[in-house]
A and B are shown apart, each in its own frame.
Chain A
Amino acid sequence: MERDFRKALLSPLYAPLLCGEDAAGGRTLSSVVETRHLSKWYGQVVGLNDVSVETAGGITGLLGPNGAGKSTYLWLLTGQLRPSQGEVLVYGESPWRNPGLFRRIGFCPETDGFYGGLTGHQFVQVLGRLSGLDRRKVRERAREVLETVGISSVANRRVATYSKGMRQRLKVAQALVHDPEFLILDEPLAGMDPIGRRDILALIRRLAASGKDVLLASHVLEEVESLTSRILLMDRGRVLAEGDVHEIRALIDRHPHRVRITCDRARELARKLLELDDVVSVQVEPDGSTVTVQTTRPDDFYSRLPHVLVEGDFDVRVIESQDDNLAAVFRYLVE
C-alpha cells in the first residue's frame, strides 16, 4: 500500500491537482515556478537531474537532505546558474540573465557570507538600493524590515559581531527589503534558537497570508510541516515526490520507527519494553548499554516510555529516534 502511495505521489496526474491546471490543459494558471526536464551538471557531478515540476502560489516546502540538490535548484531559480538542460521559468520568465525579474524575487541564501564591515542597517540599505529603492525610501524600509525580523536593537552594530541567529534574521531582512512577490528561503532557520525559529516561521506565515509566494528549502520536516502542506521531496538531484506533507508524514508513521536508548541495565529495559504491544522488536547492542527498539506506533510508544523508565529507575543517557527524520523517508522512498 505504501508503495502505491509513493507511486501516486510521483504520478504526473498528481501535479495538476497541486497546481490548478487550466481547462485547456496547457500552462497552469497560478504557477510561480515551472521547470521542464531541468538538469544541472557541475562537470562530472550531477547537481539536478531531469526535474519537471510546477509550483503554485502560497508556501511550498522544498525538502531534502544535505546534497539533495536543493540549493542548485534555488540557484537556478534565482539566475545564479544556467540550466545545463531543460528550462526553468519563474512567473513565466527565465531568470538567467534577466535582472528585471529579480525585482519580484527576494532570495535568502543558505551561505553565511556578509559584508562584515557594514552594520546590519547598512547591509540591508545597500541591498535595498541595489534593488532599486531610492535613497530616502530605503532608509525607512531597512528600519522596517529589521524590526520585522526582530533585530532592530542591533541594527547599528557591525554584522561581523552578530550571532548565527542574528545573521539568519538579517538574511531574511535583506530578502524582504524591496518587498518582493516571491520569497526564496534556503534553510532560513538553520542555526537559530527555538524562539528565533518560532518568530521566523510566524513571519513566513504572515508574509504568505499577505499574498506573497514562498519557497522554503529545509532538511527538517517539522519546520516545513508547520508552514504548509505542499512539499517537494528531493534527493540526489531528483524530485522523489511532490504532494501533501501530511500524507508523507503518515507514511513515516506507518513505517516502523527505530528508537535507540542508551542507559544502565539495558537488558532489563529491553525485557520491559518487549511487554509493550506496539513494540515489534528489541535489540541490545553488544556493549550492553544501548537498546534499539522498533515500534509501529511511535506516538503511543513515546507516551508510555517515560513511565517505563521511571518505574524501572533507569539512568537514561540518550534517547534518539533514527527514523523521525527525512533521511528515513528518503531511504524508504529510494529503496
Chain B
Amino acid sequence: MDKELESAGAPNARTRAVYPVGTLFRLTLVELLRTKRALLYLAMLLVPVAFSTYHAFTEKMIQDPLYVWGIVFVVAYLDFIVPFTALLFGATLISAEQETQTLTYLLSRPVPRWLIALVKYAAAAVVSIVGIGLSMLASYGMLASHPSLVPIGGNFVYVVLLTGVGGIALLVYLAIFLFVGMRFRRPAVAGLVFILAWENLVGLIPGIIRFVTVVHYLRSLAIEATKGTIVLPRLFTIKAAPVSGSLIVLGVVWAAFLALSVWYFSRGEFQTSSDRR
C-alpha cells in the first residue's frame, strides 16, 4: 500500500493551473436534477404546456396564438415560473450543500471559493434556461399547432425574443437568490416575500416606485421585444422603459448581486455552532 501511495497521481504543474471547472459543473448539474426540487421544477414547466394543449384542443381559437401566449408568458413565466425557479435553484445552491453536509468537501479542495460560486451559478443557469426555454417553445408550439390558425413563422421571432427575455430574467433572479440563499437563515421566506410582495405588488403601484423592481424592466423588455404589437395585457398598464435602459439596469443588478454572492461566499463561514463537536 505504501508503494501505491508513493506512486499516487499527485497533481503536476500543468494540471495545477487548470481548475476542474467541468467536474464541478457536472456535479452541480447532477445534484440539481437529482433532488425533489427537480420534480417541482418539472411540474412548474408542464403547467403552461398543459394549459396551452388544453386551450388548443378545446377553444375555437379566434385570437392570434401569440395573444394567448403573451398572457401565458407574463402571468405564468415572467411573474411565476421564472422567479420561483430561480428561488428553487439559486437559493439552495449553497444552502442545500450545507444541509447535506457536502460543502465541507468542496471547501477543503484546492479550488478558489469564487470559482465554486460562479460554476455552481452557471450550472443552475443552464438547467433553468434550458428547461424554461423548452417549456416556452413547447407551450407556444401547442397553441400554434391549431389547424385553423396563422402559420407559426410570422410570430415566431417574437416568441424567440420573449424567450430571450425569460433567459435574462432567470440570470438576474438567480444572482439575487444565490445571495439570498447564503445571507438569510430562511431563504425561502425571504425569496417569497421578494417575489410576491416586492416584485408583484410594488410593481403594480403607480408612480416611480415600480422603477426599483426588477420585473418592471423585464416587462419593458417584453413590450419592446414585441414592438407593442402584441397584446400583453398587464404590460399595457405601465410605461415601458427603453430597451437600452432596461438592459443596463438589469445588467447592473445582475452584476452587483453576482459579485456580492461571490464576495460573500469567498469570505463566508458555512459551519455553524450546531455542527461543531
Contact = CB atoms under 8 A, between A and B. Distances in A.
Contact of A117 (B4, B16, B34): B34
A286 interface: no
Interface residues of B, number: 42
A71 B104 contact: no
Contact of A114 (B8, B102, B272): B102
Contact of A72 (B5, B108, B276): B276
B23 A130 contact: yes
Contacts of A301: none
Given A42-B273, A67-B276, A118-B30, A131 B110 contact: yes
A179 B275 contact: no
Contacts of B106: 130
Contact of B275 (A103, A111, A118): A111
A118 B31 CA distance: 9
Nearest to B109: A130
Interface of A: 42-43, 45, 47, 66-72, 75, 78-82, 97, 99-103, 105, 107, 109-118, 126-134, 137-138, 140-141, 144, 148, 174, 176, 178-179, 186-187, 203, 206-207, 209-210, 212
B15 A210 contact: no
B110 A113 contact: no
Contacts of B20: 129-130, 132
6 contacts: A45-B273, A71-B275, A97-B266, A129-B23, A131-B109, A134-B15
Given A80-B269, A118-B30, A210 B6 contact: yes
Nearest to A132: B11
Contacts of B4: 144, 148
B208 interface: no
B190 interface: no
A75 B109 contact: no
Nearest to B6: A210
A132 B110 contact: yes
Interface string B170-191: 0000000000000000000000
Nearest to B266: A97
Given A80-B271, A112-B101, A141 B8 contact: yes
B108 A80 contact: yes
Interface string B1-42: 110111011111001100010011001001100100000000
Nearest to A113: B101
Nearest to A180: B10
Contacts of A45: 273
Given A81-B269, A210-B6, A148 B31 contact: no
A111 B277 CA distance: 10
Nearest to B101: A113
B9 A133 contact: yes
Contacts of A80: 104, 107-108, 269-271
A99 B276 contact: no
B11 A133 contact: yes
Contacts of B2: 206, 209-210
A42 B100 contact: no
B210 interface: no
Contact of A132 (B5, B8, B15): B15
B8 A144 contact: yes
Nearest to A42: B273
Contacts of A210: 2, 5-6
A204 B266 CA distance: 33
A113 B110 CA distance: 20
A207 B101 contact: no
Nearest to A77: B108
Contacts of B16: 103, 132
A179 B5 CA distance: 7
A126 B27 contact: yes
A45 B20 CA distance: 37
A207 B271 contact: no
A203 B9 contact: no
Given A113-B102, A133-B9, A78 B31 contact: no
Contacts of A132: 11, 15-16, 20, 110
Contacts of B113: 97, 99
Contacts of B24: 130
B61 interface: no
Contacts of B270: 80
B233 to A, nearest CB: 43
A38 to B, nearest CB: 14
